[in-house]
């Protein structure tokens, strides 16, 4: 028997109410996810890796909770979930790059493809800060390793040459990353040259100093 208009409206109102409640619940989880990811990155820069790992595990649990809330409502594919997942991917990748570990996998993190790609691009930009710290410590080989990872990520991301509406702005992420890579390479070159000059001056002074 065909439903009446009143019945159709009542049924769709219930579905819409369910979508609204799922959206609000997912928003709460996504805010938590962004906060946890930001804290994780801060602890990485402080080299407090155990705490960073704990925060990342908690972030992954929160991300799964957000996805579980939205799963019964495929009509909802909110941008805020993409943004929150992107932050989690960034945190996971920053931790891996700094610790010289294998880069995280999208399936391992449960992230959508474009959330993952954009998050990796932002992670590659974020680790510039750590590369600069290593330069200041005189650890040029470590800074060069980080720069190499940044370059590899950039070179691979630019191969995803699809419409921005599909990639979630990946082209802009790559443009920003390219500038960061170039600045970091320039900084490393300048630091290496300065260190080489200091070594030469020191060696020259030692040769010229009278021996006792």
- Residue closest to 46 by CA, chosen among 145, 130, 163: 130
Helix ranges, 127-169 (H): 128-136, 140-157, 164-167
Q: How far is CA 31 from CA 64, 94, 123, 175, 181, in A?
A: 13, 20, 19, 27, 30
Res. 28: pLDDT tops 90: yes
Res. 94: pLDDT tops 90: yes
Chain segment 178-212, per-residue pLDDT in tens: 999 999 999 999 998 876 666 666 766 767 776 55
The enclosing domain of 80 has a CATH number of 1.20.58.2140
- Give residue 147's domain range: 5-208
**First-to-last CA distance in the chain?**
110
Model pTM score: 0.89
Q: How many domains does the chain have?
A: 1
CA angle 157/163/164 to nearest 5° reads: 75
């Amino acid at each position: 028997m065909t439903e009446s208009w009143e019945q159709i409206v009542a049924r769709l109102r219930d579905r819409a109410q369910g979508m609204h409640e799922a959206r609000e619940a997912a928003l709460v989880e996504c805010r938590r996810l962004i906060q946890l990811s930001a804290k994780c990155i801060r602890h990485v820069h402080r080299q407090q890796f155990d705490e960073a790992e704990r925060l990342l595990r908690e972030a992954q649990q929160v991300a799964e909770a957000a996805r579980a809330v939205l799963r019964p409502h495929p009509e909802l594919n909110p941008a805020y979930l993409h943004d929150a997942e992107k932050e989690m991917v960034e945190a996971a990748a920053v931790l891996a790059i700094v610790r010289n570990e294998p880069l995280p996998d999208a399936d391992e993190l449960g992230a959508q493809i474009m959330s993952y790609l954009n998050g990796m691009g932002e992670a590659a930009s974020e680790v510039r800060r750590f590369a600069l710290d290593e330069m200041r410590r005189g650890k040029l080989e470590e800074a060069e390793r980080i720069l190499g990872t940044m370059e590899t990520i950039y070179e691979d991301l630019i191969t995803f040459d699809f419409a921005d509406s599909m990639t979630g702005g990946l082209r802009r992420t790559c443009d920003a990353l390219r500038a960061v890579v170039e600045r970091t390479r320039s900084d490393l070159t300048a630091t290496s040259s300065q260190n080489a000059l200091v070594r030469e001056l020191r060696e020259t002074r030692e040769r010229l100093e009278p021996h006792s």
